[in-house]
Amino acid sequence: MPAGSPWGPEATVGDAAPRTVLVTGGGRGIGRAIALRFAETGAVVFVNFFVNREAAEKTAHDVGLRGGVAHLMQADLKEPSEIKRLVAEIKGRAGRLDVVVSNAASGVLRDTLDLSSKQWDWVVATNARALLILAQEASQIMTTGGRIIALSSLGSQRVIPGYASIGVSKAALEGLTRYLAVELAPRGITVNTVSAGAVETDVWQAMPEGTAALAAIRARTPGGALVTADEVAGVVHFLASPAAQAIQGQVLTVDGGYSLLA
């Protein structure tokens, strides 16, 4: 391994420049863990956030402590113009993008029959269309070895009460992953999605009976433990490594075996 390799200790390539990584929704939860994981290998991390600047500033600070370089980027990802601006700013600052982690998500917990079109549009635009626009824009400044990695959840395949808008948006995102993968593969860019099981983040605290739901999921998970944000970040980091070059258009489930059970 060349000294100072931006790919981390597992790498075998000789590119000495630090990798440039965009993590959408990088201020909190899984996004924060991903940003910090890339920071450990000296990456330049663009930490996108929506409204919680305080959390994003803390993540940016911690990226620096872990050996990375952080740039805060506030943007509303449900607006295509905002995504275009975001990528243009990254191009202006770094000239290129090596890894895009489309992690930002928003949701409305409501029964399917009660969803308003406004709520539907909000969730689908934020969770699914954002990946489309991001891929269209970011791929213009990505080269061979580039990575686009999205985050999904089990609600894309299974029915979770009240989760319709998010689940369907994630199903769209997973389908989009396959189409993007085929179109970007000739350019040496891989597109994959990590479908994470329940991770104990502050999102669950905001849900009615969220704590009880997490306890039930933990009890049902074969290993008896919830997946952690760091574990998800580790898988994302692996997908971004040269070792994962042949993994293309896949949805990789990281749930401790939860979804294996009938």
Distance, CA of 140 to CA of 261 (rounded, Å): 42
Is residue 158 classed as helix, strand or coil in its secondary structure?
A: coil
Contact status: 106 vs another protein (CB under 8 A): yes
Please tell me the total number of residues recorded for the chain in this structure.
Answer: 262
Site for another protein in 224-253 (CB under 8 A): none
Taking the least distance from each CB to another protein, the nearer of 11 and 72 is 72
Contact status: 52 vs another protein (CB under 8 A): yes
Contact status: 108 vs another protein (CB under 8 A): yes
Contact status: 113 vs another protein (CB under 8 A): no
Q: Is 258 assigned a catalytic role?
A: no
Contact status: 159 vs another protein (CB under 8 A): no
Q: How many CA atoms lie within 13 A of 10 on its CB side?
A: 11
Taking the least distance from each CB to another protein, the nearer of 15 and 57 is 57
Question: CB of 255 within 8 A of CB of 197?
Answer: yes
Taking the least distance from each CB to another protein, the nearer of 66 and 110 is 110
Q: Is 170 assigned a catalytic role?
A: yes
Site for another protein in 64-93 (CB under 8 A): 74-76, 85, 89
Contact status: 58 vs another protein (CB under 8 A): no
Distance, CA of 120 to CA of 125 (rounded, Å): 8
Distance, CA of 37 to CA of 99 (rounded, Å): 13
Q: What is the DSSP string of 9-46?
A: TT------SPPEEEETTTTSHHHHHHHHHHHTTT-EEE
Contact status: 118 vs another protein (CB under 8 A): yes
CB of 122 to another protein, least distance (A): 5
Which active-site residues does the annotation give?
Answer: 163, 170
